Every structure is written in structure tokens, then in C-alpha cells.
């Protein structure tokens, strides 16, 4: 079955540590996205990529980094510069003009 796989489901980060969230899709979609979801705030766009080796900042990119070396993969790194990283992170993909297909999310908690 085609879909998007996010891992891990739960992640704990210590202060000052970088962590990487994985996102893999087998839908052959060109575009991929990372969103952050906080209670009562809806989805906020962190980064997006329209094609391989290209990506753009979203509305809240500070403290995050991404890469897009393969069409199937769009990992997100939460760096130590992100001061409030505790949130639910969602990865999505789409074809041009289509709706998004979302993964099941990663819940990141700072300990």
C-alpha cells in the first residue's frame, strides 16, 4: 500500500541536542511538507520541497533544517536553536494541485 511513513512515533530530546525526524513516502509525489501542530494553533508550515534537491522555508523555519536528496525522503532536523520544540510534527506529500497525504506524525518532547 502506498503511503507516508513517519518515524519514530515518539521522540524525546534533551536540552541542547539535535534530533532528526524521518519521513518516507512511496506515492511518487514530487512535493513534500513538514508541519508543526500545537494545541489550539492548527498546522504551521516549517519547510516544503517541490522537487529533489530544492526546498523553501515556511512560516516557522527558524531552528529547523531539512534535506531532500531523494524523492522518497524528506527528513527534518530539530536543532538546539529551536527553543520550544515540544509539539506534534506532521509530514505530508502531494502531486501538483492535489490534496495532501499526511503521515501519522511524530510527537517530540523535550526532557
Shortest reach from residue 66's CB to other proteins, in Å: 15
CB of 80 or CB of 107, closer to other proteins = 107
Paired with 19 in beta bridges are 78
Compute the distance between CA of residue 40 and CA of residue 32 in angstroms, rounded to an integer. 24
* Residue (of 88, 45, 37) closest to 66 by Cα position: 45
**Cα–Cα nearest to 48, from 77, 74, 84, 78:** 74
Write the Ramachandran bin of 100: left for phi over 0, alpha for psi from -120 to 50, otherwise beta: beta
- Which residues are near other proteins by CB under 8 A? 4, 6, 31, 40-43, 45, 48, 50, 88, 90, 92, 94, 96-105, 107
- Smallest distance from other proteins to CB 83, Å: 22
The residue (of 80 and 101) whose beta carbon lies closer to other proteins is: 101
Min dist CB 21 to other proteins, Å, is: 13
What are the grid coordinates assigned to 39, written together? Answer: 494545541
Nearer to other proteins (CB atom), residue 79 or residue 102: 102
Q: Please, which residue, 85 or 103, has the CB nearer to other proteins?
A: 103
Amino acid at each position: 500500500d502506498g503511503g507516508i511513513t513517519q518515524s519514530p512515533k515518539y521522540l524525546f530530546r534533551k536540552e541542547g541536542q539535535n534530533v532528526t525526524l524521518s519521513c518516507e513516502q512511496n506515492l511518487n509525489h514530487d512535493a513534500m511538507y513538514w508541519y508543526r501542530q500545537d494545541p489550539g494553533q492548527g498546522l504551521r508550515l516549517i519547510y516544503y520541497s517541490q522537487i529533489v534537491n530544492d526546498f523553501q522555508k515556511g512560516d516557522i523555519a527558524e531552528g529547523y533544517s531539512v534535506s531532500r536528496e531523494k524523492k522518497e525522503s524528506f527528513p527534518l532536523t530539530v536543532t538546539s536553536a529551536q527553543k520550544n520544540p515540544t509539539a506534534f510534527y506532521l509530514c505530508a506529500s502531494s502531486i501538483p494541485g492535489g490534496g495532501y497525504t499526511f503521515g501519522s506524525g511524530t510527537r517530540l518532547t523535550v526532557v
